[in-house]
Amino acid sequence: MPKRTNLLAPLAGALALAVAATAATAAEKINFILNWVPGADHAPYFHAKARGWYADAGLDVEILSGKGSGLSSQRVGAGTSHLGISDLATALVAKSKGADVIAVMNVYANSPYGMYWLKKSGIAGARDFAGKKIGNPPWDAARVMWPAFAKAVGLPADSVEFVNISPQAKAPSLLAGQIDVTTNFYNGHDTMKRLLGPDMGFLAWPEAGLNHYGNSVIVNGGFLKAKRAAVAGFVRVTQKAFAACVAEAKPCIDSLMAASSGLKRTDQDLQWARVKELMTDKFTLTVALGYMDPGRMQADYELVAKYFKMKAPFDVKTAYSNEFLDRSIKMTE
């Protein structure tokens, strides 16, 4: 008997090590694509990863830079990325064209789009964009949604010429006279003010009557069906991370700066303050941070249906879900 016990002890130890090793390698891999290059609006994702919150939830999250909501919604819709960030209206456009995407958490309760120009160009407002060059990346969400904006301000959608430029070239191209107008998210408004100076002209899309939901976390429908627990864990951790960043911004911006090169700290601090403005509405304050109101979702769907030819109309209720949100986590002013 003693000899048998001695033989079993090493086997038990080996089994324990094997179980521990299996648990350590069992983390669900998630490919998560941003809508853009990293910035303050992405700080919570980097913060959650740096603090080990995703790992604690059994998730191995890879964060990829993006090149616009058009691209991120396409990649998630095709399953190339499991989850991502996309402007919600852009995601609805993609879904109408066959992309298998479902929004599981809203980030921007207010539309972040803005149009920028130089006053010396003679442009006084949106009606003066006719015949002008608008510079932005081809996958830019504002370019995708341009027909809706053009209709709202009384312009033919084909009255402008779009010029392909990189995200970093927006302000320089405007200052160099290579383009007449550019688009940018409101979270970068302070940076645009610094770069363009007092000659900056600006129009926020909500002022033109378009205030659809902005950036949202989207998931591939097939991945959601197969890995529901992983998606639930990702949403819970992400919601927790956004709440933590709203409560105390510095650690979150620290995480962003550590993970991304070429960023200016002062710019990111200012951007985060704008992000909080975009996150705030009556639903995020009273229902849950990240909540998507069914009425607004229906309105966004009707916006897309009105200005775009839907290849395959769908029930908007199939395009989003609030079920993974923790209703105890709310936005604070």
Residues 189 and 71 occupy one common structural domain? no
* pLDDT value of residue 25: 53
Residues 102 and 149 occupy one common structural domain? no
The answer to whether 233 and 219 are in contact (CB under 8 A) is no
Residue 21 confidence (pLDDT) above 50: no
Asked if residue 18 belongs to a domain, the reply is: no
Q: For the chain, how many structural domains are there in total?
A: 2
Rounded to the nearest 10 degrees, what angle do helices 228-247 and 43-50 cross at? 110
Asked if residue 17 belongs to a domain, the reply is: no
HSE at residue 280, side-chain half, CA atoms within 13 A, is 10
Q: What is the CATH number of the domain that holds 122?
A: 3.40.190.10
The mean pLDDT value of the chain amounts to 91
Neighbouring-strand partners of residue 4? none
Residue 102 confidence (pLDDT) above 60: yes
Last residue of a domain, one of 173, 188, 208: 208
Cα→Cα distances 228→219, 220, 279, 323, Å: 10, 11, 26, 11
Asked if residue 13 belongs to a domain, the reply is: no
- Strand order across the beta sheet in which 215-220 lies: 59-64, 28-33, 83-87, 215-220, 101-106
* pLDDT value of residue 19: 37
Residues 150 and 125 occupy one common structural domain? yes
Last residue of a domain, one of 149, 177, 208: 208
Residues 177 and 83 occupy one common structural domain? no
Residues 232 and 276 occupy one common structural domain? yes
Residues 204 and 117 occupy one common structural domain? yes
Backbone angles phi, psi at 265, to 5 degrees: -60, -45
Last residue of a domain, one of 208, 241, 260: 208
The domain of 296 spans 27-110+213-319
- Tens of pLDDT, residue by residue over 117-139, are 999 999 999 999 999 999 999 88
Residues 127 and 270 occupy one common structural domain? no
Q: What is the mean pLDDT of residues 133-156?
A: 91
Residues 153 and 187 occupy one common structural domain? yes
Asked if residue 325 belongs to a domain, the reply is: no
Asked if residue 239 belongs to a domain, the reply is: yes
Q: Which of 6-20, 87-101, 143-157, 207-221 has the lowest mean pLDDT?
A: 6-20
Q: Which of 129, 263, 144, 252 is nearest to 201 (CA)?
A: 129
d(CA 236, CA 258): 23
Residue 16 confidence (pLDDT) above 80: no
Residues 244 and 105 occupy one common structural domain? yes
